[in-house]
Every structure is written in C-alpha cells, then in structure tokens.
Amino acid sequence: MKTTMNTIGFMLAMLLITNLSFAQVKSDYDKEADFTQYKSYTFAGWQDDSDKILNDFDKKRILDALKSEFSDRGMELVEADGDAVITLFVVVNQKTSTTAYTDFNGGMGYRGRWGWGMGAGMATATTTYSENDYNEGTLVIDMYDASGKQLIWQGVMTSTVQEKPKKREKTIPKKMAKLMKSYPVKKK
C-alpha cells in the first residue's frame, strides 16, 4: 500500500513539474545597463502586426500579465515618454507530435526434462503509432532604452498554445511570470 501511495505521489509531482515546464524561456540583457533607473515604460505595439493572429481576449491577457509583472518590479506603464519602450512579437506554428508504443507479449514457457510440460509460446508484438497536431506559440518581448534607442533586454518564451480559453486565462499569467524571472530586476 505504501509503495502504491509513493508511486501515485511521484506521478502527481511529475505531472505538476512537466505541466509548468512546457514554456521554454530564453533571455539576454545588456550587462552594462542599470535596470533600477527604469521607472516607467511605454508600450510601442506589436512588431509587424503579429498580434493579428491573436484574439482580443488573449492580447488583453498578455498585456495585463506583462503590466502586472513590470508593476511588481516598480515600473509604471505611461502613454508616452517612458524610460523604456516595450515591443512585442508573437508567432504561432502548427506542429505535429508523433508517439509509438510497442506492446510485447509472449515468450518461453516451461518444458520438463523429457520434453513434456508447457512448451515454447509464440511471441507477438503490436506497435501503436499516433500523430497529434498542436499549435506552438513564441512570444518575444524587446525592451529598449528610450533615450539611447538601444535594446537592453529581450525575453523569448515558446510554449504549446492551450486550446481552451479557460486554460489560457490561467496559464498566460503563469507563463509570463516564468519569463519575467529572467528580467534583471526581481519582484519587490
């Protein structure tokens, strides 16, 4: 019984870990920049009109999550003349995952000393093969110094796009928080 409970606990822990790790995050920043000097930012829009592939709800979810993360770091969104300028770029690609599972049945049986008893059995193998289509989205956040017009931070997140809106409502803020962990200023 104890082994069964340990196995179930381990499987639940792995499910939670893998569920949160689906978003791959990469970032880079200007090591010479003093990020504590940036107290405000201006949103300069979506690069190359990449937001056209998003619905209005998801655009709002992304912008609200980004605003919340910057607010937690002492930065305020202003209409114009911010210390930093933020641009966003998003791309969604359709991907296909392939899985195969082989179930092997059969093997050798018991045979007595004189050749009687259970004999050798036939071995069989069945392979199940499946393909699943899904969408993978990449969000790029670029932060520029407003006075020098130089890129000072870039965050890139790639993740599977959740099909259900209720799930996107929950996962977008979590994934944005994961991306912003790489920002040089930590939450207050």
Per-residue 3-state assignment (H helix, E strand, C coil) for 132-184: EEEEEEEEEEEEEECCCCCEEEEEEEEEECCCCHHHHHHHHHHHHHHHHCCCC
Q: Give the pLDDT of residue 101.
A: 79
Locus of tokens 């790029």: 140
- Give φ, ψ of 71 to 5 degrees: -60, -40
Q: How confident is the model at residue 17 (pLDDT cuts 50, 70, 90)?
A: very low
Structure tokens at 3: 């082994």
Average pLDDT over the chain, rounded to an integer: 82
Whole-model pTM over 0.85: no
Q: How confident is the model at residue 108 (pLDDT cuts 50, 70, 90)?
A: low
Fold observed for domain 19-95+135-180: Double Stranded RNA Binding Domain (3.30.160)
**Residue 119: pLDDT over 80:** no
For the segment 23-68, what is each residue's pLDDT rounded down to a tens digit?
899 999 999 999 999 999 999 999 888 888 888 999 999 999 999 9
Domain range annotation of the chain:
19-95+135-180
Question: Which of the pair, 121 or 98, is modelled with greater confidence?
Answer: 98
**Residue 180: pLDDT over 70:** yes
Q: How confident is the model at residue 93 (pLDDT cuts 50, 70, 90)?
A: confident
Q: How confident is the model at residue 19 (pLDDT cuts 50, 70, 90)?
A: very low
**Residue 18: pLDDT over 70:** no
